[in-house]
Structure 1
Amino acid sequence: MSQISASTLSSLLRNCVSLFTIHKAKQTHCQILIHGFLPNVTLQTDLLLAYSKCSHIEDARQVFDAMSKRNMHSWNIMISSYIKISLFNWGLSVFDDFLKADFRPDHFTFPSVFKACVGNGGCYFLGKILHGWVVKLGFGSHVVVGCSVLDFYVKHEDVGDAYSVFAGILSRDVVIWNSMINGFVRCGFSIEVLGCFRKMMGEGAKMDGKTIPSVLSACGKEGDLMKGKEIHGQVLKILKFDMDVVIGNSLIDMYAKCGSVEYAEKVFENMHSWSVVTWTTLISGYGVHGKGEKSLILFEKMRLHGFQPNCVTFTAVLASCSHSGLIDQGRSVFNSISLDYGMEPSVEHYACMVDLLGRYGHLEEALELVKKMPEDSPASVWGALLGACRIHKNVEIGETAAYRLFELEVGNSSNYIALCNIYESIGRWDGVSRVRSKMRELGLVKKAACSWISVEDGVHRFYHGDVSHLQTKIACEVLDGTIKAIAFVEF
């Protein structure tokens, strides 16, 4: 029998790594032990890597613990092995031992540990310390390390620090651009998403399948139909992603939010395959625009095509029924959640149903539904009931809903104002005085709101929101001598 060398066994182990063959790795491990090659840092590190790649973390840890000497590579393998299978605390524990052994992290260590800081939500402070080390050790310009730092801040929704890291990365690939765009999306900064995308295109970076949904989402939130159509054109002509389900879903959502339901329908019809999300997105789009009958027809088609509706689908259908006054159909859908699909109706389902019944005057039935909820009704459900009582001037049920909301949302002035409006509508001035006195006692004030119409490139966009910082009744946005928008403010 020919003599087996340590280098031969090392090569065998590296081959096991590429083929993910655990039985060969174990056979080679036996040969190492039989021939007495241990301790050998190179062989032990190769064993560690082989077991790690084959997802045998216990065997990897046994090899690691048996090592009398550990090099940088072995520490990095053990740390990353735990983090890859989401054992973040174990990975961070090994990292702590790594530091106590007087090692310092390198460009292989940092990405794994930042991933652990993301996975373990309580590690924001550690991530900040690690970022300081990245700068101190000179890894700030390293693309992979920079991307991991950026992702850490994005996942913690610290968009300010995320952008500072992003700006410091000189060589940006599409992954880094996507990470920054995703950070703006997570924080709801739609205008910044579009600005970042324009800069990305201006620097010659090519968008991919992960860029498009984020940018389309921003277009939908901003009501920017022109930009959305431009992205759609690039999808069809340049990227040829017209068969991608995720992008198709994003296009449907964008067109629906921009008010172009007919375009959303065309995208849906031209898709080669659908998912539950696809059907749900168009159902929701119909509902938002008051096309409840179409939502129900599409819901039935979805079931006929063999798709199982999920909780989001039911929420979309019930909301559509509410917007269109389809009471009987809404009752039927709500009851089918448990009867036909064996699912427990969620809080959102109850809120939609209460809104539907209450909006069209079935207040007693709505209150009974709230009382039947398996858990304590949250503010969203009581809020829907209070809003309905305001419409129909129902004091008795309105008081029940309002006083429950006073307990659940102590500092929400809108609940007090809603009850006050119910009293005013029937001339109960003693009730109005009592509620306003309570508001003064709690230091609550009514927040100013506005309606905002933006006129740009022939496209009108409507906004409504809190503008308590404004001091005038009319606010104008002027650009190059032309009035671009007027805000009418209610105080």
Structure 2
Amino acid sequence: MQRENISPNSLTFSYVLKACGSIGAVDKGAEVHDLMAKQGLLGCDIVLSTALINMYTKFGALRNAQKVFEELPVKDAASWSALIVGYAENGSSEQALACFKKMQKDGHSPDIVTFICILKACGCLRAADEGTKVHERIAEQGFLVDNDVVLGTALLDMYAKCDVLTKARQVFEDLLVRNVVTWNALISGYAEHGDCREALKCFERMQCQGFSPDAVTYLCILKACGSTGAEVWGERFHHEIAKQGHWKNHVVLSTALIDMYVKCGAITKARQVLEELPVRDSVSWNALMIGYVKQGEASHARDCFEQMQCEGLLPDAASFSCMLIACSRLGLVEEAHSHFVNMNMKYGIMPDLEHYTCIIDVFGRAGYLTEALGLIQRMPFCNYNVWSTLLAACQKWGDVKTGKWAFEHAI
């Protein structure tokens, strides 16, 4: 088109921006943005600017999206919504909520898509009060939650994430139309807050009403079983999943099975699930390693770490946490220190507070208090757990001077 000297118009640009956002063509999108600027289209065409905001949010380039928005001489509901949706979908929940409030102060009414995204943001922030205000605003604008399964599910999910399960249940019961996503939101709410009994009741009621559980349903229900140690129920769901024949190729679901058995103390069954997998990843290995560490079988955790690497898998931050704990339990100071150093030097993983706390625990258990103290003094950050770990070591080895120093920092 451009080769034939035909200038694109606003509609053409809108379609191209949408295409760039859909396929993640960052460079091409920036090129189109520059071309629009040269033609003087920025700011004067709010529809086109909104398309530009949408594209940048699809890339996760929220600063660019915010800049385009701020340069608009006049903002409408669509441009506000585009920015709010972008923040919410990219995990910037606080910014999404702040924009939502500004939008309303400017006198613009949110649409259903905006409400769905802001409910998601409230859920992520566990902002029950803000979520309730959004619920009230939805009612004020005349949107019928009972008849809109997507909006109703978003509202239910928000209350569930905020641990307001009574309201979540009320929203659920009031819905005239439900789908498997709606059921999953309620089951997940109960599972997340440790109410295995209600999660199981919902699961059975769901099936009685003719809804077939999907992978997300099983992930939620396995989590509920693991959090309450309900191994018998967990095994029943394992058999149900096995009948469907898909779990071995579903790494996330397989890892959930391993995690469930681990939390129920059935480490042998967890190992069996892992060994039956045609493809394993570091997350599934980590789940098993955590199980061995919790069961006091640190040597088996070390074996898993080695076997994982023999399969060509690289350890991640969680893998090293497991190994440092295992080494601490086994008194392997040099090996633990080697892992701690190799995290960054060999694998490019920067140690976090958990890793520092683990290696200090290794030094402390073995009586290497000088080394532990030296490491703490070189740490870029520190917290109560670090100081209390050092304090426990000082108490064990009778180092009053260092213990007093650790105590002063801990409080």
Q: Say whether the fold is shared (TM-score over 0.5).
A: yes
Separation in structure 1 between the aligned mates of residue 358 and residue 340 of structure 2, nearest angstrom = 13
CA displacement 1:155-213 (0-9 Å, x = unmatched): 44444443443343342322233333333344344444334333333333332222322
Of 227-236 and 109-118, deviating more is 109-118
Residue 57 (structure 1) aligned to one of 50, 54, 65: 65
Match of 1:336 in 2: 339
Match of 2:138 in 1: 134
* Deviation for aligned residue 1:84: 4.2
Per the normalisation by structure 1, the TM-score is 0.63
Of 109-118 and 72-81, deviating more is 72-81
* Deviation for aligned residue 1:332: 0.9
Separation in structure 2 between the aligned mates of residue 131 and residue 103 of structure 1, nearest angstrom = 17
After superposition, where does 1:178-257 map in structure 2 within 5 Å? 178-238=184-244, 240-257=246-263
* Deviation for aligned residue 1:32: 11
Per the alignment, in what secondary structure is the counterpart of residue 104 of structure 1? coil
CA displacement 1:289-334 (0-9 Å, x = unmatched): 33332222221122233333233212212333444xx223x53133
Contact 1:92 1:113 in 2 (8 A): yes
After superposition, where does 1:257-276 map in structure 2 within 5 Å? 257-276=263-282
Match of 1:47 in 2: 48
The 1:306–1:217 alpha-carbon spacing in structure 2 relative to 1, beyond 3 Å, is same
Contact 1:20 1:53 in 2 (8 A): no
* Deviation for aligned residue 1:243: 0.7
After superposition, where does 1:304-323 map in structure 2 within 5 Å? 304-323=310-329
Separation in structure 2 between the aligned mates of residue 27 and residue 372 of structure 1, nearest angstrom = 54
Match of 2:26 in 1: none
Separation in structure 1 between the aligned mates of residue 372 and residue 117 of structure 2, nearest angstrom = 49
CA displacement 1:50-83 (0-9 Å, x = unmatched): 324432736863795357xx5x556544543554
Match of 2:110 in 1: 105
CA displacement 1:143-162 (0-9 Å, x = unmatched): 22222323333444444443
Separation in structure 2 between the aligned mates of residue 407 and residue 58 of structure 1, nearest angstrom = 42
Match of 2:61 in 1: none
Of 202-211 and 159-168, deviating more is 159-168
CA displacement 1:118-158 (0-9 Å, x = unmatched): 56x49654332211122343433222222232333344444
The 1:32–1:185 alpha-carbon spacing in structure 2 relative to 1, beyond 3 Å, is same
Task: Give the CA RMSD over aligned residues.
Answer: 4.2
The 1:292–1:109 alpha-carbon spacing in structure 2 relative to 1, beyond 3 Å, is closer
The 1:178–1:45 alpha-carbon spacing in structure 2 relative to 1, beyond 3 Å, is farther
The 1:367–1:27 alpha-carbon spacing in structure 2 relative to 1, beyond 3 Å, is closer
The 1:124–1:65 alpha-carbon spacing in structure 2 relative to 1, beyond 3 Å, is farther
Separation in structure 1 between the aligned mates of residue 357 and residue 399 of structure 2, nearest angstrom = 16
Separation in structure 1 between the aligned mates of residue 352 and residue 239 of structure 2, nearest angstrom = 39
Contact 1:370 1:381 in 2 (8 A): no
Contact 2:54 2:83 in 1 (8 A): no
After superposition, where does 1:343-382 map in structure 2 within 5 Å? 345-353=351-359, 362=366, 364-366=367-369, 369-370=372-373, 372-373=375-376, 374-375=378-379, 378-381=383-386
CA displacement 1:198-242 (0-9 Å, x = unmatched): 333333333222232232222222222221122222222226232
Per the normalisation by structure 2, the TM-score is 0.73
Give the AA of the match of 1:50. A
The 1:184–1:15 alpha-carbon spacing in structure 2 relative to 1, beyond 3 Å, is same
Separation in structure 1 between the aligned mates of residue 91 and residue 340 of structure 2, nearest angstrom = 34
Separation in structure 1 between the aligned mates of residue 280 and residue 249 of structure 2, nearest angstrom = 10
Contact 1:111 1:148 in 2 (8 A): yes
**Corresponding residue pairs, total:** 381
Separation in structure 1 between the aligned mates of residue 353 and residue 112 of structure 2, nearest angstrom = 46
Separation in structure 1 between the aligned mates of residue 262 and residue 328 of structure 2, nearest angstrom = 18
Q: Give unmatched runs, 5+ long, in structure 2.
A: 1-7, 22-28, 57-63
After superposition, where does 1:134-153 map in structure 2 within 5 Å? 134-136=138-140, 137-141=142-146, 142-153=148-159
* Deviation for aligned residue 1:382: 5.6
Q: Between Structure 1 and Structure 2, which shows a larger proportion of helix residues?
A: 2
* Deviation for aligned residue 1:398: 7.9
Of 281-290 and 344-353, deviating more is 344-353
Separation in structure 2 between the aligned mates of residue 29 and residue 293 of structure 1, nearest angstrom = 63
The 1:288–1:125 alpha-carbon spacing in structure 2 relative to 1, beyond 3 Å, is closer
Separation in structure 1 between the aligned mates of residue 382 and residue 91 of structure 2, nearest angstrom = 35
The 1:233–1:370 alpha-carbon spacing in structure 2 relative to 1, beyond 3 Å, is farther
Per the alignment, in what secondary structure is the counterpart of residue 333 of structure 1? helix
Contact 1:251 1:267 in 2 (8 A): yes
Give the AA of the match of 2:341. S
Contact 1:48 1:77 in 2 (8 A): no
Structure 1 residue ranges (4+ consecutive) displaced by more than 6 angstroms after TM superposition: 8-11, 23-33, 385-390
The 1:291–1:73 alpha-carbon spacing in structure 2 relative to 1, beyond 3 Å, is closer
Separation in structure 2 between the aligned mates of residue 309 and residue 171 of structure 1, nearest angstrom = 45
The 1:148–1:64 alpha-carbon spacing in structure 2 relative to 1, beyond 3 Å, is farther
The 1:358–1:195 alpha-carbon spacing in structure 2 relative to 1, beyond 3 Å, is farther
The 1:204–1:404 alpha-carbon spacing in structure 2 relative to 1, beyond 3 Å, is farther
CA displacement 1:17-46 (0-9 Å, x = unmatched): 66348578998999997xxxx98xxxx565
Give the AA of the match of 1:129. K
Separation in structure 2 between the aligned mates of residue 385 and residue 272 of structure 1, nearest angstrom = 43
The 1:257–1:369 alpha-carbon spacing in structure 2 relative to 1, beyond 3 Å, is same
* Deviation for aligned residue 1:249: 1.2
Structure with more contact order per residue of length (Cα contacts < 8 Å, sep ≥ 6): 2
When Rg is computed on C-alpha atoms for both structures, the one with the higher figure is: 1
Match of 1:19 in 2: 19
Residue 289 (structure 2) aligned to one of 277, 283, 299: 283
Identity %: 27
Contact 2:18 2:55 in 1 (8 A): no
